[in-house]
Structure 1
Amino acid sequence: MSVSYAVSRVLRRASPFLFQKRYESTVASLTKDEILILLRPPFTNWSNTIRDAEKVVGYPTSFMNLRCLLSDEFANLALYLRKLVGSNHLVMQTAKNVLYGDSKNLQPWGLIILLLSKSVKTTSTLPVKKVEEQQRILAELTEMIRTGHLIHRGIVNVPFAKRSKNTESAIFGNKIALLLGDYLLVTANGMLAGLRNSDVSYIISTALKDLSEGEFFGERDEQNMPLPGKPKTSGEDYQITFDTTSISVDQVIGKPRREWTARTVFNGVSLLGRGCQAAMVLNKQSKEMENYAYHFGCHVGLAWQAATELQQLTSDSKDQFCLASAPVLFALEGNPDLYKIIDQGKNDIKDVDYEDLKFNILKTDAVDKTKKLYEDHAKKATAYIEGMGENESVDMIKKLINTF
């Protein structure tokens, strides 16, 4: 595929007319199946691994939300998104990331839950098909909650005093973000209730609580975007916990590893961990196995998040990156004077000189520390899943963890 794509680009540049004629004659001779193959997204190591994993679970998890997205209610709401096409509203950026994103944002949480469910033998008295159906619903509703949360975060704060005709699209976009996000969350809660399992409902509700608290964790600008805490040199930084009820803001803010872990766990990783834990409940596994599954899910989420932030900072893109990401926090630890640049974004993070900040971050050892952070969590996630057994699903999970 890559060779033919390169050849096609050369032909297009050399002679557009010749390329068009050759393209038309080639397409005309292709079968329907061959055309569908050509229309697939480009193959990468990540997408290939996802496809292999989907074969293991026997379910195309790439289209998990398709049933929801094609429903009449959602279609009516989605029509209003057309009014925002071309605008820079955050809800449109979120929609583009969800629809067209790559490994940077399409972390297959539902697929991990299904693979984990398949990796252990169920001891439930229910028929196997029934248990598998419940696990599929759990994976779907986890993805829905995550997507709904991302859409809600696309709301733009428009102060009443600054409202005018120029802000109408932003205010309209906020209404759509609320409606779309609420629809996904309500649908997910309906599916959760349909499982008729009080233990699973409690576990997922705990993750929803964490998501809500995460929106108030640490300092924020006017758009509720996170700002890092001022670096502290004293105190233990490596003592971390996934028990969100025992995390104190004062104890973690300013300590890069602990602050990043707490922010990331509250911001969604807890949801992945609880989804994995709930899968073990449906499988009627022991409390010890449930705890293993929760810690496994948290380590997977943290490993992927560290890898994502590393990719964003080391790429050639000039897009904004999260000021509370691991590379930024590690850079502040090594060079506290960089906090002067962060101070520019107290009111709005857009005021920060990101190019200058990125240049200074790359001069520190922040990239190496972030890479080590990813490797640490990837190793721990691998150790947890290896403790659950040896089979095709376990091997596929290990491949997903290390392909990112």
Structure 2
Amino acid sequence: MTLLRARLSCLGSLCCGRRDISFFTNTSPSNWSKVVSDAEKIVGYPTSFMSLRCLLSDELSNVAMHVRKLVGTKHPLLNTARGFVYDSKNNLQMRGLVVLLMSKAAGPSAASPDLLQQDMVSGIYPSQRNLAEITELIHTAFLVHRGIVNLKEWTNSDGPLKDMQFGNKMAVLSGDFLLANACTGLAQLNNTKVVELISSAIGDLVQGIYYENSSAVEESCPSDDITVASWEEQMFLSHGALLAKSCQAAMELAKHDKQAQVLAYQYGKHMSLGHKMNSDLQPFLKATAGEPVSFSLNSAPVVFHRQIVGPESWLLQLQQATTIGRQLDYSKLWGTIKAEKGVSSAIDLCCYHGDKALEAIRCFPPSEARSALENIACAVTKF
């Protein structure tokens, strides 16, 4: 079946189907290893080593030696470094894997005879594999940059001040190094449209993280009214733009038409937003009354709750959940939020994004790669 015929036939098949593979929920390490292994067999590429050439370069080897000085401190760069070896949230290298799966699901384009000279491996062009590596490098660079401590909040229990300052310098320099390598690889793709797409995604990341940092500063006194629409816009910038535009760029590298590029973009966008909402919902779905609980006041269920009850009621609930020592009792606030419809509304929106991702990917021809992407989209709505 051609891509065009598959797009036309997809309109009547939007039900989710089986959800037997979970890429984003908290599975056991052994189950996760099997899921990743199965997906990597489809794309014929060990994605867990996509950034290995850069991470084992002489420059970063020297950085790793310096990072050892932070052992014994609470600098977040240490946790970031551990995440390169094993990510407890089970989404290590997922962005690159999705880009590769999308590339294989779309296949070669009949309108690109000049690409026939490139040797495809497992149905994926070398330039698309390079793009997957670049996507992971950019994501890793921003993870490293986020590991910067606000020294104004430094305490003696965090570690010596000079070590925390040193850790900040390492986070800035090593993040910049990764980002520079990604930009070099991007230029070597020799495609101005792809350069434009990924460059704009980097700009979106910067803007999204700025919004997140501003929200974190204001979280201690969240009196500003935030809508679900503005929340989605901010989360797309910081969590969805890179994957959405990388999926679109993969289609551009294979010279697929604009319709295929839009479908790939929509899949990446909605899958990322669904994943973020799934993550935000976990404290409200996994915890039980009486257990210690922690969540962001800018997470999706809280934003829905604030919009439902209104700003005045929200401020009153915050006051009632604040202890004499001006500390917020999250367990009490958790119970208040659970009693309203914010959680169920967030679940509905999460399912909506999962369904929209399915709608986009089912316009591609049936294949193992498409099935894997369908399972990923279904996984974000599995609680």
Q: Secondary structure at the match of 1:261?
A: helix
Match 2:62 to one of 76, 86, 90: 76
Q: Give the equivalent residue in structure 1 for 2:336.
A: 360
1:271–1:53 distance in 2 versus 1, CA, 3 Å: same
Structure 2 counterpart of 1:334: 308
The Cα shift of 1:295 comes to: 1.4
With 222-231 and 103-112 compared, the bigger mean Cα shift is at 222-231
1:67 aligns with 2:43: no
Whether 2:218 is the aligned partner of 1:197: answer: no
Call closer, same or farther: CA 1:190–1:82 in 2, change over 3 Å.
Answer: same
Aligned equivalent of 1:235: none
Displacement after TM superposition at 1:356 (Å)? 3.4
Task: Select 1:99's aligned residue among 85, 107, 110.
Answer: 85
- The offset of 1:227, in angstroms, is 8.2
8 Å CA contact 1:299, 1:380 repeated in 2: yes
Superimposed CA distance per residue, residues 165-210 of structure 1 (whole angstroms, 9 cap, x where no aligned partner): 9432322221111012111111111111111111110110110111
Amino acid at match of 2:304: F
CA separation of 1:185 and 1:298: change in aligned 2, threshold 3 A: same
Q: Percent identity?
A: 36
* Paired residue total: 335
Q: Which residue in 2 is equivalent to 1:278?
A: 249
Distance of 2:160 and 2:83 partners within structure 1: 25
Residue aligning to 1:169: 163
Higher relative contact order (CA 8 A, sep 6+): 2
The RMSD of aligned alpha carbons is 3.1
Secondary structure (helix, strand or coil) at the match of 1:390 reads coil
Deviations 1:242-271 (A, max 9, x none): xxxxxxxxxxxx212x12211111103101
| Whole-angstrom distance in 1 between the partners of 2:282 and 2:191 | 39
Q: What letter is aligned with 1:259?
A: S
User: Do structure 1's residue 208 and structure 2's residue 202 form an aligned pair?
Assistant: yes
Residue equivalent to 1:369: 345
Q: Any conservation in 2 of the 1:218–1:226 contact (CA below 8 Å)?
A: no
- Confirm or deny that 1:255 pairs with 2:231: no
Flag the 1:112–1:105 CA change in 2: closer, same or farther, 3 A. Answer: closer
Correspondence 1:100-249 to 2 at 5 A: 100-103=86-89, 105-106=91-92, 108-123=94-109, 124=112, 125-126=114-115, 127-129=117-119, 132-159=125-152, 166-217=160-211, 220=214, 230-231=224-225
Q: 1: CA distance between counterparts of 2:248 and 2:272?
A: 14
Task: Name the CA shift for 1:228/1:212 in 2 (closer, same or farther; >3 Å).
Answer: farther
Residues 211-263 of structure 1, C-alpha deviations (whole Å, 9 max, x = no match): 111133377268698986733xxxxxxxxxxxxxxxxxxxxxx212x122111
Unaligned runs of 5+ in 1: 1-40, 232-253, 345-349
Deviates more, 1:143-152 or 1:274-283: 143-152
Partner Cα separation in structure 2 for residue 151 and residue 177 of structure 1 = 6
Say which is worse superposed, 58-67 or 132-141, in terms of deviation.
58-67
Residues 339 and 276 (structure 1), Cα distance of their counterparts in 2 relative to 1, 3 Å cut: farther
How far did residue 84 of structure 1 move? 1.6
Q: Secondary structure at the match of 1:74?
A: helix
Task: Please tell me whether the aligned partners of residues 125 and 254 of structure 2 are also in contact (alpha carbons under 8 angstroms).
Answer: no
- Structure 2 gap segments, 5+ residues each: 1-27, 321-325
* CA positional deviation for 1:104: 5.7
Q: Following the alignment from structure 1 to structure 2, what is the Cα–Cα distance between the partners of residues 172 and 65?
A: 25
SS in 1 for 2:296: coil
